[in-house]
Structure 1
Amino acid sequence: MTSLTHPRILIVEDDKAMRVSLVDLLEAAGWQVEALPRAERLAERMAEVQPDVILSDVRMPGMSGLELLDTLDPDLAPPLVLISAHGDIAMAVDAMRRGAYSFVEKPYEPRRLLNILHHAADQHMMRQTTARLKNRLAQLSGLNRVLLGETPETIALRDEVLDLAQSGAAVMLQGETGTGKELVARALHDLGPQAEGPFLALNCAAFSVEGFETEMFGVEGGAKGRLRGADGGTLFLDEICSCPLPVQAKLLRLIEDKQVTPLGAPIAVPLRFRVMSATNEDTQEAVRDGRLRADLLYRLNTTLIALPTLRQRRNDVMLLAARFLEEFARVYETRAPDLSAEDSAALLAHDWPGNVRELRSVCERRVLAARRGSGSMAQALCRDAPGDDVPDTLREAVAAFERELIAKAITAHRGRMEAVAEALGIGRRTLNEKIVKLGLDKEALL
């Protein structure tokens, strides 16, 4: 029996006697029923009725049931069940191939028809529930804002993040520099069951072989070690292919055992964390070159997310540029410059080797130039443009410095605003005012 209390159905049947029979059957079974004699009227009734399933005859004057099926959006429309007195195997196979939920022959067996319609309505309900949940999660996490863009590649990335967030599986993020690997890792963390826990990001290229255990595992009676900071949350290992080989062995043991033994301690300390990693290299090539342990790779790449380059999502460039220009205009207390046709052409023609990070820097240079009443996107794309990176007023320099300092404090204290205010030596209210004035996005920093 369907979990819907009163499922809604649209019946399309040209034979009046059959139409009445179907209406009586379904209303007796608790359905909300709307019946139409012609398929051409379905579109105007769909929005009002919002059916959970459509039941349509195949052969009708005007538009046939199969033609009606072809007009429906498979991603949005409810399931369509076809019913016909002229059915055969070939017709049923064709109907299913074209997207019909099921095919029923007349005269129908009432119980079988009701079961098919109930299952179809249940499927529609679950699909709508999943879509609402994903949309709600995206709104709660700001995912549509954090992973901004409307190209198929960006939409697919957001969907992948939402699908994997609740999993505890290890995730490896692979992509060029500037594609937003840590940003995606933080989105996975924020949407997952570890969201209330810490997010510890470690740059593997900076690990010291000699001091690794002291710094990371801690010392009995002394420092706890940085890895304790991942307990109950997420451990993010950036630039994993650049990790020294001796350290890789220690990381492998850590990931396998989920515990650390501080130097001089008699027993190990258990940890709970989800591990994520990132690299801009070909991991298989790194394994062949002897720079990455194969057993560590297998522990890290349970799920692999390949981040698209900005070149692959070129149609997102203008949307991203508009957002970054507005962001930096708030920081430097000026108006965002309008984009001319020449500006758009320059942005779209560029190859973006630094990806979104490069675009962000270009937009900051453009706003700084606009603040002085000059500049263009073509000039901002030239890194050697004189003076473009340097604020030319004390107010701009102070704003840039405050923005960087507050952003680092928010990240360091994991968004605990009382601790951030205390570390910066200012009041909580003053901190909030500066965050608004400088256009800082707290969620994007965490």
Structure 2
Amino acid sequence: MNIQTHSILVIDDDKSMRQSLEELLIAAGWQVNAVSRAATGLERLAQTQPDVILSDVRMPGMNGLELLEALDKNTAPPLVLISAHGDIPMAVKAIQDGAYSFLEKPYEPRRLLTILTHAAQQHRMRQSNSRLKERLFRLSGLDRVLLGRTPQVVQLRAEVMDLADAGAPVLIEGETGTGKELVARALHDLGPNPDAPFLALNCAALSPDTFEPEMFGIAGQTDGRLRAASGGTLFLDEVCSCPLAVQAKLLRVIEDQQILPVGGQTSVPVSLRIISATNEDVDKAVQDKRLRQDLLFRINTMVLGLPSLRQRRDDLTLLSAHFLEIYARIYETSVPQITQDDLAALMAHDWPGNVRELRSVCERRVLAARRGAGSMAQAIRTDQTLDDVPDTLREAVAAFERELIGKAIKVHEGKMDAAAEALGIGRRTLNEKIVKLGLDKDALL
């Protein structure tokens, strides 16, 4: 039977008392960190993250009651005070101010250990509840990412929840614009290690010449991106477009969970959950010898299929209303009403760009509504005559993205996760676009 070890920060200026407490607690299986001053204890708090604090009351400098007042009541572990000079008024005030308990010296060891154990268990339970609330918040985020009420989307959300804790490799299949990276991030965020790294690699951009030093690191110089991401998730986007030479190196990492730094003699273990994504037919990619079959077998333990927008037309009204509201907030205007003609236009369109295309259509609709004109049918048409259009498509896209991203950053006051969510892209993609487009975040705020 495994006994859960608790940790404690002991603060007492009396050296003999401090050593006595250390010996008692270590013998009882506790991890102990002991200091002689309350101010030192406050500095150690963030580093050691104990389950409970045991502190003397009367000490030079900051005393125990002042320490209690300095602690953040929302995040700090419980504080148990102990004093040879304690009296009833002091004990009552300490408890009223938030202390977990108060004991007088000389203490009874069994009672002290019982109080400390209960305090530590309460702290861990509170932390667990906080994580649960955070996970529930992320679940509501999943609802926003996979917004919809059609059976395909409801089933997809359930599958994401089931697979999040599994740890098995997942292959996400879906057309362009269906939200594959957002689903990959949801699998990571809802998993057991949401605070661990999420390393997203665009496989089409990987070079066989630079892959090993960049990903494996150089012995004695750099750790490499894979080692830095160990303990987290490796997301292989556009996996069918990965160069074959890189596929062989990735396969070794996935199979062995080890990397050999360039110039090194000893392999370094890594722990990575593998999530991949593609908008291609993987069987055809294998047949065309663009995707190694042995790599496919390693990454497709579980497969998630993302429905196209054509397969979930009943969600069009809900999605449109959602995106119209987002862009109306970004452009500081009223939300356009969806008319029967708008609905007819939405249902008649084939949506080759899926949800990503619908977002763009809703943005054009909001921009037109801000000028007092427009309809969904006009927003869907791509052959509209526009004033001041740049000479090339690349310039037009860059200008469009620059304006939209700038507005999103302003609206969300520089909160990049919120801006990325509003734009319907991953945080990594947003950062890359900011650099590529030469945007100055500070100048926007």
Deviation by residue 1:9-53 (Cα, 9 ceiling, x = unmatched): xxxxxxxxxxxxxxxxxxxxxxxxxxxxxxxxxxxxxxxxxxxxx
Give the counterpart letter for 1:366 in structure 2: R
Give the counterpart letter for 2:181 in structure 1: E
Q: What does 1:190-209 correspond to in 2, within 5 Å? A: 190-209=189-208
The whole-number CA distance in structure 1 between the counterparts of 2:430 and 2:189 is: 12
Q: What does 1:36-435 correspond to in 2, within 5 Å? A: 139-141=137-139, 142-387=141-386, 400-403=405-408, 406=414, 407=416, 411-412=427-428
Distance 1:174 1:273, change over 3 A: same
Deviation at 1:341, TM superposition (A): 1.0
Unaligned runs of 5+ in 1: 1-133, 416-422, 435-446
Contact 2:330–2:407 at 8 Å: present in 1 too? no
Alignment partner, residue 115 of structure 1: none
Alignment partner, residue 439 of structure 1: none
Deviation at 1:379, TM superposition (A): 1.0
Deviation by residue 1:233-274 (Cα, 9 ceiling, x = unmatched): 110001111111111000000111112222112322221111
Unaligned runs of 5+ in 2: 1-131, 390-395, 421-426, 432-438
Distance 1:388 1:212, change over 3 A: farther
Alignment partner, residue 33 of structure 1: none
Contact 1:143–1:187 at 8 Å: present in 2 too? yes
Deviation at 1:299, TM superposition (A): 0.3
The whole-number CA distance in structure 2 between the counterparts of 1:240 and 1:389 is: 38
Deviation at 1:289, TM superposition (A): 1.0
Deviation at 1:281, TM superposition (A): 0.9
Q: Secondary structure in 2 aligned to 1:312?
A: helix
- 4+ runs of 1 displaced by more than 3 Å? 134-140, 386-391, 396-400, 404-410, 412-415, 423-426
Distance 1:178 1:414, change over 3 A: closer
Distance 1:388 1:151, change over 3 A: farther
The whole-number CA distance in structure 2 between the counterparts of 1:219 and 1:193 is: 30
Deviation at 1:389, TM superposition (A): 10
Distance 1:380 1:241, change over 3 A: same
Give the counterpart letter for 1:239 in structure 2: E
Q: Secondary structure in 2 aligned to 1:183?
A: helix
Deviation at 1:228, TM superposition (A): 2.6
The whole-number CA distance in structure 1 between the counterparts of 2:242 and 2:388 is: 32
The whole-number CA distance in structure 1 between the counterparts of 2:225 and 2:138 is: 30
Q: Secondary structure in 1 aligned to 2:196?
A: coil
Distance 1:388 1:214, change over 3 A: farther
- RMSD across aligned C-alpha pairs, in angstroms? 3.2
Deviation at 1:278, TM superposition (A): 0.4
Contact 2:138–2:189 at 8 Å: present in 1 too? no
Distance 1:350 1:195, change over 3 A: same
The whole-number CA distance in structure 2 between the counterparts of 1:425 and 1:403 is: 11
The whole-number CA distance in structure 2 between the counterparts of 1:366 and 1:388 is: 16
Deviation by residue 1:402-424 (Cα, 9 ceiling, x = unmatched): 53695489725999xxxxxxx97
Distance 1:239 1:155, change over 3 A: same
Give the counterpart letter for 1:378 in structure 2: A
Deviation by residue 1:68-92 (Cα, 9 ceiling, x = unmatched): xxxxxxxxxxxxxxxxxxxxxxxxx
Deviation at 1:151, TM superposition (A): 0.5
Q: Secondary structure in 2 aligned to 1:201?
A: strand
Give the counterpart letter for 2:408 in structure 1: R
The whole-number CA distance in structure 2 between the counterparts of 1:388 and 1:367 is: 17
Distance 1:317 1:229, change over 3 A: farther
Distance 1:151 1:135, change over 3 A: farther
Contact 2:331–2:407 at 8 Å: present in 1 too? no
The whole-number CA distance in structure 2 between the counterparts of 1:341 and 1:166 is: 43
Deviation at 1:137, TM superposition (A): 5.3
Distance 1:425 1:243, change over 3 A: closer
Q: Secondary structure in 1 aligned to 2:310?
A: coil
Deviation by residue 1:215-237 (Cα, 9 ceiling, x = unmatched): 22222233432223421111000
Distance 1:225 1:347, change over 3 A: same
Aligned length: 287
The whole-number CA distance in structure 2 between the counterparts of 1:218 and 1:413 is: 24
The whole-number CA distance in structure 2 between the counterparts of 1:136 and 1:198 is: 17
The whole-number CA distance in structure 2 between the counterparts of 1:205 and 1:311 is: 27
Q: Secondary structure in 2 aligned to 1:189?
A: helix
Deviation at 1:367, TM superposition (A): 0.9
The whole-number CA distance in structure 2 between the counterparts of 1:283 and 1:273 is: 22
Deviation at 1:386, TM superposition (A): 3.2
Give the counterpart letter for 2:143 in structure 1: N
Contact 1:162–1:191 at 8 Å: present in 2 too? yes
Distance 1:366 1:413, change over 3 A: closer
The whole-number CA distance in structure 1 between the counterparts of 2:228 and 2:318 is: 37
